[in-house]
Amino acid sequence: MRALFYERFGETPKVSTLPDPTPSPSGVVVAVKATGLCRSDWHGWMGHDADIRLPHVPGHELAGTIAAIGRDVRRFKIGDRVTVPFVSGCGHCHECRSGNQQVCEEQFQPGFTHWGSFAEYVAIDYADQNLVYLPDSMTYETAASLGCRFATSFRAVVDQGRLKGGEWLAVHGCGGVGLSAIMIGHALGANVVAIDIAEDKLAIARQLGATVAINSREVPDLVEAVREATGGGVHVSVDALGHPQTCFHSISNLRRRGRHVQVGLMLGEHATPAIPMARVIGHELEIYGSHGMQAWRYDAMLEMILSGKLAPEKLIGRRISLDEAALALTEMDSFKDSGISIIDRFV
């Protein structure tokens, strides 16, 4: 198979022919039709993820058809159109048994713990517990855009943030994760504040339903600007970027008893950010992490998509080839692209 891989962290990846994968007894091999390019892949390439072993094929947002199947798989067959959460549960640990596969103690993560989807084929373990059937009407490109950013945002806003109609939601960072959160918040009937430093991304945020858009470079005090725009602060705030400053601002712009959800990864030199703990205590704020979404929760998200309440295809930006992805991966830290970049050509 043709695949993009790297042999050393931080060195430019290359595309070459690697051995085709074979399925484990509980797994399948998926013929990849589309896969997303995510900043988490950039973190992995930089060496920020201890699970990665070199050489490595990145990629964790994928959709395709089952090309081979393990002997113990019962729920799926060759030819099925599928996607998969980027965190797959083992099915037998305590967290999986309680329905929390997104924090499985023995989790399988394509593109991190195992080779990923920047390739013509990818092997997925624990297939019966983790694969998700794709609706016939959904394109592979749209399905791939769900895999990490949209699904993670759905769980962050709906399950972790417990956002309700009429509440205020602040979203710090209007990349793929942030724009997904804005669309979901708007669909739930919330009032959304979009925050970024790029006017083109803020313009997209307005199109997706943001009530207020703030360029953080153009206000003297971002927290005060959010509090003024919302009449005292937001009920839910999401750091969709992953930076000490956006994390601090996201917590600080909450109203009393508000909920902060950290979605953007904070690794390397950003792993231990300062937190306004006096405000957390005095205002009884809640702080949550959000790490993917369980396969069984996809049904609720897919129902909102099929009903037209959510349109994740609007978030797709560039469509690139596997060869173009080598350079694109190394430039993920520059945040140049709006929306979600999709690899849809592998040869």
pLDDT one-digit tens code per residue, 208-228: 999 999 999 999 999 999 999
Q: Which two tokens stand for residue 162?
A: 């417990």
Residue 338: the pLDDT is 67
Q: Which CATH architecture describes the domain 151-289? A: 3-Layer(aba) Sandwich (3.40)
- Could you say which of 3.30.1950.10, 3.90.180.10, 2.40.50.100, 3.30.230.10 is the CATH number of the domain covering 2-148+293-345? 3.90.180.10
Q: Where are the domains of the chain?
A: 2-148+293-345, 151-289
The per-residue pLDDT for range 220-270, each reduced to its tens digit, is: 999 999 999 999 999 999 999 999 999 999 999 999 999 999 999 888 889
**CA proximity to 184, closest of 149, 153, 144, 146:** 153
Give this prediction's pTM: 0.91
Rounded-to-integer distance, Cα 281 and Cα 277, Å: 6
Sign of CA dihedral 106, 50, 40, 246: positive
Residue 93: the pLDDT is 96
